[in-house]
Amino acid sequence: SQTIHQWPATLVQPVGSPLSLECTVEGTSNPNLYWYRQAAGRGLQLLFYSVGIGQISSEVPQNLSASRPQDRQFILSSKKLLLSDSGFYLCAWSVLGNAEAFFGQGTRLTVV
């Protein structure tokens, strides 16, 4: 069966510090991978999606970047965090041709 791992679960970082969130998927090959952010009391905002290694599409201009160094690994990064980067970050995967998305447990990031 397929599983998705996302870590850490919670993170408190100072303004201006770097960020690296990692997500890995097991049990499937060539998944579509996604990073979403959910601000407090808000819906999910699609940040990045990837249909293959090294292929990243950005949905919104921002302080973040994403990379996919391996087929089942998706990384969200920032060189310098802003207060506005605080939120609940969710990694998700889906299979080509099937839009159903499966989510990791999320990382709750607080920038102080």
Partner 1 sequence: RKEVEQDPGPFNVPEGATVAFNCTYSNSASQSFFWYRQDCRKEPKLLMSVYSSGNEDGRFTAQLNRASQYISLLIRDSKLSDSATYLCVVSNTGGFKTIFGAGTRLFVKA
Site residues, partner 1 (CB under 8 A): 32, 34, 36, 42-44, 46, 49, 51, 57, 59, 88, 90, 94-106, 108
Residue 36 C-beta: closest distance to partner 1, Å: 7
Cα angle value 39/79/111 (rounded, 5°): 35
Kindly tell me which of 42 and 79 has the beta carbon lying closer to partner 1.
42
Q: Which two tokens stand for residue 28?
A: 């499937």
Residue 72 C-beta: closest distance to partner 1, Å: 17
C-beta of residue 89 within 8 angstroms of C-beta of residue 8? no
Kindly tell me which of 70 and 105 has the beta carbon lying closer to partner 1.
105
Kindly tell me which of 15 and 96 has the beta carbon lying closer to partner 1.
96
Residue 65 C-beta: closest distance to partner 1, Å: 19
Kindly tell me which of 54 and 100 has the beta carbon lying closer to partner 1.
100
Rounded alpha-carbon distances, angstroms, from residue 9 to 19, 23, 71, 87: 14, 11, 22, 12
Rounded CA gap, 48 and 29, in Å?
Answer: 19
